[in-house]
Amino acid sequence: MAELLTLEMKALVGELGELVKADPRNEAIRQAIDDYERSDELNALVAEYNAQQNALADLYATAGDKTPDEDVAKALQERIDLLYDTITSHPVYAAYMDAKKAFDSLTNGIIAELQYVITGERSCGHDCASCAGCH
């Protein structure tokens, strides 16, 4: 099977990779991932959230054709909602999401620029006002 990339392409991708690795957004996402993984508090919240989600799913699955106990289902859902709010407002989670958004913007920008170089056209945004309309 033929190589997908030429040696020259691989070299240029390697150079681009080094530039991305040196970008502060890369360091920020790496640090945010590390902080997320090391946060015992956040990981405990996520583990409980997943357990509560599974318990709710099991409640409905075991009910079969019957209606599950509404009080139990409501209590589980309320706990799930509280855990979700607690997780998403946790400073470590918020920092992770901010870093992820910034890094994703960087990588998406690289892909968009590469597509422009190849095709000569900018991709449409998600807002129809950004171009002449769909074709």
Mean pLDDT over 34-48 rounds to: 98
Q: Quote the longest CA-to-CA distance of the chain.
A: 64
Name, in order, each residue with C-beta under 8 angstroms of 13's C-beta and a sequence gap of 6 or more: 5
**Predicted local distance difference test score (pLDDT) of residue 60:** 92
pLDDT band at 110 (very low <50, low <70, confident <90, very high): very high
Closest alpha carbon to 28 in 112, 87, 106, 89 = 106
**Predicted local distance difference test score (pLDDT) of residue 122:** 87
* Distance separating alpha carbons of residues 35 and 18, to the nearest angstrom: 23
Mean pLDDT over 60-89 rounds to: 94
Whether residue 20 contacts residue 94, with contact meaning beta carbons closer than 8 Å, is answered with no
**Predicted local distance difference test score (pLDDT) of residue 126:** 63
**Predicted local distance difference test score (pLDDT) of residue 3:** 87
**Predicted local distance difference test score (pLDDT) of residue 34:** 99
Residue recorded with tokens 């590469």: 114
The two structure tokens encoding residue 69: 């106990």
